[in-house]
Amino acid sequence: MITKLVMATNNANKLREAREILAPLGIEVLSQRDAGADCEPEENGATFAENAMIKARAVFEIVGLPVIADDSGLCVDALGGRPGVYSARYAPEGQHCAKLLDEMKDVPAEERGAAFVCNVALLDGDTAEVFAGECRGAVGYEKRGSNGFGYDPVFMVGERTMAELSADEKNKISHRGAALRELYRFLNERNGE
C-alpha cells in the first residue's frame, strides 16, 4: 500500500495539482527536492511516456520510494502535432506563447485545434505504469488570463483560456488532471486489495 510518494518535479503548480487529486487516498506527495533528489535527467525520449519514465527512474534510484513523474506538452493540429514532446524547448523561457501565436497567425479558426497531452509514470520497484490524459481545445489569438503557466494563456477551452479557469475548473478538465485521475483509480484499486 502506497502512503507516500515522490513527484519528480519541483514545479509548485504540478505538485499542487497532484496533491489535490490524490489527497482523498491519504497519500502524501513530496517534491523531489523535499525527498532529497537533486537531479535533472535529460528528457531524450521520443514520447511523453518515455520522458516521464526517464524522470521517474532517475528520482527512484535516488530516493527508493514510489515515484510519479509526468511529461506533457501541446500538440497543435495545424503544426503536425508540434511542439509536442519538445514543448518545453520550443522557445526560450517565457517566449513559448509568443512564438506559437506568431507561427499560428495565418491559421484560420477552424484549423486551430490542439490538445494538451500528459503522461504520468508510476514507478515503485514492483510497478512501472504510465497513465495518459488529454484536453482538447484550440490555440487562441492572444494571451489571456493569469491562473496558469506554460501555454495556458493561449489554449482555449470553450470561450476561455486555460489561464482564465479556476484551479478547480482546470483540475476537472486538464490533461494532467485526467492522467492523475487514471493514476488515482489505479492506486485506489491497488490500495484496496
Q: Is the pLDDT of residue 10 over 70?
A: yes
pLDDT of residue 65: 95
pLDDT of residue 132: 97
As a whole number, mean pLDDT of residues 18-31 equals: 93
If one looks up domain 4-191 in CATH, what number appears? 3.90.950.10
Tell me if 170 sits within 8 A of 153, measured CB to CB: no
Judge whether 71 counts as a catalytic residue.
Answer: yes
pLDDT in tens, 45-76: 999 999 999 999 999 999 999 999 999 999 99
Least confident piece of the model among 9-23, 71-85, 176-190: 9-23
Q: Which of 34, 38, 71, 168 is catalytic?
A: 71
pLDDT of residue 183: 96
Q: Is the pLDDT of residue 77 over 90?
A: yes
pLDDT of residue 148: 79
The overall average pLDDT reported for the chain is 93
pLDDT of residue 193: 56
d(CA 109, CA 172): 25
Of residues 47 and 14, more confidence is placed in: 47
On the CB side of 178, how many CA atoms lie within 13 Å of its CA? 14
Tell me if 153 sits within 8 A of 161, measured CB to CB: yes
Of 57, 21, 26, 20, give the one whose Cα is nearest residue 42.
Answer: 57
pTM: 0.89
- So where are the chain's domains? 4-191
Sign of CA dihedral 138, 144, 148, 154: positive
Helices 12-22 and 175-191: crossing angle in degrees, nearest 10, is 40
